[in-house]
Amino acid sequence: MKRLTILFALLAGCTADPGANPSYGCDTDADCDGGVCYRGFCVASEIDAGAGPACDEAARCFTGDPGLRGVGACVDGCLQDDVCVGEGAPSEELCNGVDDDCDGTTDENFDLLQDEANCGGCGDVCGDGLTCCSGNCVDQSANGLNCGGCGISCEEGEACCGGACTDLGTGTDCAACGDACGAGRECCDGSCVNTQTNSMFCGACMDASCAAGEECCGGGCFAETAPECTDCDPACEGSDVCCFGSCADTDSDPLNCGGCGVACGASELCCGGSCVPSDEANCGSCGRSCGGTELCCGDACVAETSLNCGACGTTCAAGEQCCGSGCTDTRTDAMNCGTCGNVCRDSEECTNSNCCPAGQNFCNGRCQENSISACGPSCSVCRGLVPTCRSDGTCGGL
């Protein structure tokens, strides 16, 4: 009852005569002599702004469709010089948490489950190469739950490779997508092996294990001391070395790197007789280096973006950007406000991609305190009989 009494007292402070309201017409709160500028006119306080201007009931007006009065953004105006000032009219629906078209439903024209510009929430934009599926931004070329399209799930034992569900264990996708076995190797049970020298898969991938005391030489199982395993005929030339009956260049052979039988890992190269990772210094081949801002992904140099941020396959979430090899929300990050590297002052915070004094939000093109016409980082318009904007930036009231 006390709150209603205060409201009616405030409403009684304005008449239909613009001359009785010296602050009629405004651009900012500063034009209102202590009041609040709302929709181009002054009101006594923020409490009045939820339902229209501060005037008595006789002066309240609405010239639009009567069925829309009081619905969403369609609020009353105040009759001044026989003109209805400050009333809310329906407009095109925006994704902003406001019923702009006054149809009783908010943001109905936006599918937050599939809209790449509003994925999971208004303003959450999916980055380059990402698609909105069930309110999440995903890379359909590698996401096993949305492979090549939303809701297309790969089965157990499959991986999403280039937008298609693929059985691992083939020559082109052996242990992982794009893990193609090089020359002289075959994919056996998810591993790339040389069937000419591998005693577990000697000569073929299936049922070809050598017995104890035997070695695989030239695709056949022989005793460890057999000539086939110790000699090469004809003799190896140049820098080649005889390894298990075959000539090998131990400087570059990943199966005999630096010595016979010294095999490099699946993601390694043999460079100068040493196994080294395929990375920015040796990307896909010895000596091929990537640029300073590039990553080595799948043996290829790629730009560091929201799809590969800091590490290959590290994808930034909706609304985030890749800054300094890490994903961040430039709408709120004071070290990267609005764009990477834009640092706010110590006395400022980053709100809606702009630096503002601590405690203020960037709404309607400027920094301002919380108010019912721009409440919190979402810049919501609080509505209701006695609308309020709480200190945490959320709307409340009757």
The conformation of residue 129, written as its DSSP 8-state character, comes to: T
Q: Taking the C-alpha atoms of 173, 131, 328 and 323 in order, what is their torsion angle to the nearest 10 degrees?
A: 60
What pLDDT score does 347 carry? Answer: 92
Q: Is 248 exposed, middle or buried (0-12, 13-18, 19+ CB in 10 A)?
A: buried
Tell me the pLDDT tens digit for each residue of 306-356. Answer: 888 888 888 888 888 899 888 999 999 999 999 999 999 999 999 999 999
Phi and psi angles of residue 36, each rounded to the nearest 5 degrees, phi first: -125, 135
Looking at residue 10, its pLDDT comes to 34
Please state, rounded to an integer, the average pLDDT across all residues of the chain: 81
**pLDDT recorded at residue 40:** 63
CB atoms inside a 10 Å sphere around CB 81: 10
Quick count: other Cβ atoms within 10 Å of Cβ 104? 10
Residue 384's nearest CA partner among 101, 79, 75, 104 is 75
Give the residue-averaged pLDDT of 5-10.
33
Give the tens place of pLDDT for each residue, 206-264: 767 888 888 888 788 888 788 777 788 778 888 888 888 888 899 998 888 888 878 88
Write the CB contacts of 276 (distance below 8 Å, at least 6 apart in sequence). 268, 269, 270, 282, 286
DSSP per-residue letters across 57-105? GGGEE--S-GGGTTSTT---EEEETTEEES--------SSSS-TT-SS-
3-state secondary structure of 366: strand
**Top-confidence residue, 239 or 46:** 239
What does the alpha-carbon distance between residue 285 and residue 281 come to, in Å, rounded to a whole number?
9
Which of 104, 105, 107 lies closest to 96 in space, CA to CA? Answer: 107
pLDDT at 206: 78
Domain residue spans in the chain? Answer: 2-92
* Cα four-point dihedral sign 247, 249, 255, 258: positive
Q: pTM score > 0.85 for this model?
A: no
Ranges 38-42, 180-184, 351-355: which has the least confidence: 38-42
CB 387 within 8 A of CB 49: yes
